[in-house]
Amino acid sequence: MVKIACFSLLWISSAFAQNAAPMSKPPSVRFDIGALDKSADPCVDFYQFACGGWLKANPIPPDQARWGRFDELQERNRETLHAILEDAAKPAPGRDAVTQKIGDYYAACMDDKAIDARGIAALMPDLTRIRDLKDKSQLAPVVARLHRIGADVLFQFSSGQDFKDATEVIAQADQGGLGLPDRDYYLKDDAKSVELRQKYEVHVQRMLELLGEKPEQAKADAAAILRVETALAKGSLDLVSRRDPEKQYHRVAAKDFAALSPSFNWAQYYSAAGSPAFQSLNAVWPDFFKALDAEIKTASLADWKSYLTWHLVHAQARILPTAFVRENFDFFGKTLTGATEMRPRWKRCVDFTDAELGEALGRKFVERTFGKEGKERTLTMVNALEKALGEDIQQLSWMSPATKQKAEIKLKAITNKIGYPDKWRDYSSVTIKRDDPLGNDFRADEFEFQRQLDKIGKPLDRGEWSMTPPTVNAYYDPQMNNINFPAGILQPPFYDNDMDDAVNFGGIGMVIGHELTHGFDDQGRQFDGEGNLKDWWTAEDAKEFEQRATCLADEYSKFSVAPGANVNGRLTLGENTADNGGVRIALMALENSLANHVRPEIGGFTPEQRFFLAYGQVWCENEREEAARLSVLTNPHSPARARVNGVVQNMPEFRKVFSCKEGQPMTPVNSCRVW
Ligand SMILES: [Zn+2]
């Protein structure tokens, strides 16, 4: 990926892109006292108290891996996008260029009869290119072509900000080329992992059969593909290590980089990929490229052809004939996440339009849903949260004045982006045809790939967004040192004009606090206010920080989602730090806003109680065991119950407002606090 470190509020993996509910009418997603389980004791299990009613009333729809309040809101946004796209797809005279583009993309995607009738014809030129390879020395241009059309083969190549000079955009080569979600899926020996690998191999075999291979041949090829991917997995860095920026930064001269894998023709690759010339790049994890070279030598040309063929069809499966779509869902939806039914086609096509032409569709979404006042209201909250974090830093007992001063400088340098980009991405060069769905995807992918490469050596664009406007999420970018809130999340249950301050601070206030705190979590703290990887801590304060962070890592490692599947406290450390800090400073901001005001009880709860309930309810979520297992292995965010109970366990403020006794489950004797 382009950004090595970019910290979001929640995780939407490609497997979870299956998400959406088969609802006919948009759900109500507001904060709701009726969603509580009043039979539960908030001091014993606060998550159950805040969410129990909701969890019971909202079983997971069959086409879902999980179903939570985030998904409800995403579903409501999807309904809006659906209406936009159905209108845009009508070939009315006088459609503007943006409407034509998204409308025709969507119409082509929806026409499954035409897609079935065409079969794999549109894939043939690329399948032939792979088949005609005569020698492993010819791999580079084929790999470049596959990268341009969105297939993840061998490695990843893109651009990114230099870690030590954030104003410079440089080329970046990273590990990649796997079909399963993470390298650990290839390396773990427990029964579940072995079984998943076997099912994956069968899936690869079936996809090759759908391309016309004989079963025997496809079986042998699938085995070879798994061998190649396992070799790449062995050369890859694990997810926890990848959270350490120092391990991900290796700026080297282009010729030294090429020497890591001399069996691959890098000059040919750059040229075919469309890269501008450059003298040096970030070879994110150099050992990977040595492992890649060894595998190029070891695997046969026939094995590499099978591998490339599989990844080509895998990358495009969603827009191929029905048999491919079903087989793809069967493994990546059913086996990996537990969903039992495929989503209706329109939902998939809405999501693909968002993925391929996100700022064209997002522009129409913003026109329909997001007014100027939305931006202003959010800005007021951001200012309140920044003030609270400043106060929090000043009050810390464990940090020296010298480091506090540096932290203050970094906090003041954080900028914010709210709703949508000032300047919309221009897709005018992307040709979208009503009768060419696969070609549309290829051309949109090529546009994006080229757009990333064109940044190399150019001035940094600080206005760019890495999420589309309808997205229900938010992020902090440590190298931009900015916080970003797409229009999609600035709605109930996060922000609700008709609700009291307590509920809004527990919702969007917590989100803002979470993103701000990312600037000071175990990763974010390693970057300075200018976005450079630079140590601004005294040695003593760094030690104090690490000790407190370890407390959090140990606390969260105790949460379990299924037998043998515990949360990884180190993988989720940054997010847990952000949750804990975010809720604390959101509560401080609420207290600031309540000072000298009347403090009404609403629905029988004080403002502070409503604050915690609003926080808890944002995370109400049912999840299938398969999805939960996938999540603890790969998701840097903790599961919902841990996100809620893990935080309140650390807050004396919570004990006070719910009158809990020392030693109850939500009030352990030992609690953790970083920020
Ligand atoms: Zn986060």
Q: What is the mean pLDDT of residues 573-583?
A: 97
Q: What is the mean pLDDT of residues 506-511?
A: 97
Helix/strand/coil percent split, the chain, to 5? 55, 10, 35
- Please, what's the largest Cα pairwise distance for the chain? 79
| Residue 13 CA to ligand 1 centre (angstroms) | 14
Specify the pLDDT at position 638: 97
pLDDT at residue 21 greater than cutoff 80: no
Task: State the Cα–Cα distance between residues 12 and 77, nearest whole angstrom.
Answer: 15
Q: What is the mean pLDDT of residues 373-385?
A: 91
Give the active site residues: 515, 579
Residue 330 tokens, joined: 């069967």
Task: State the Cα–Cα distance between residues 306 and 168, nearest whole angstrom.
Answer: 38
pLDDT at residue 476 greater than cutoff 80: yes
Is the CB of residue 169 less than 8 Å from the CB of residue 159? yes
| Residue 114 CA to ligand 1 centre (angstroms) | 42
- Considering only CA atoms, give the Rg of the chain: 25
Q: What is the mean pLDDT of residues 262-281?
A: 98
pLDDT class of 185 with cuts at 50, 70, 90:
very high
Give helix 301-316 / helix 139-148 axis angle, nearest 10°: 10
pLDDT, tens only, 83-93: 999 999 998 88
Q: What is the mean pLDDT of residues 466-485?
A: 96
Task: State the Cα–Cα distance between residues 246 and 572, nearest whole angstrom.
Answer: 18
Residue 405 tokens, joined: 């001063």
Residue, of 4 and 122, whose pLDDT is higher: 122
Count CA within 13 A, CB hemisphere, residue 218.
16
Q: What is the mean pLDDT of residues 620-628?
A: 96
pLDDT, tens only, 404-415: 999 999 999 999
Specify the pLDDT at position 4: 42
Task: State the Cα–Cα distance between residues 651 and 171, nearest whole angstrom.
Answer: 44
CA distances from 622 to 69, 71, 619, 633 (A): 10, 11, 10, 18
| Residue 348 CA to ligand 1 centre (angstroms) | 26
| Residue 56 CA to ligand 1 centre (angstroms) | 27
pLDDT at residue 11 greater than cutoff 90: no
Task: State the Cα–Cα distance between residues 475 and 302, nearest whole angstrom.
Answer: 43
pLDDT class of 33 with cuts at 50, 70, 90:
confident
pLDDT at residue 310 greater than cutoff 70: yes
One-letter amino acid for residue 205 of the chain? Q
Residue 145 tokens, joined: 């072509």
Which helix or strand (DSSP H or E) is residue 625 part of?
A: helix 625-634
Other Cβ atoms less than 10 A from the Cβ of 153: the count is 24
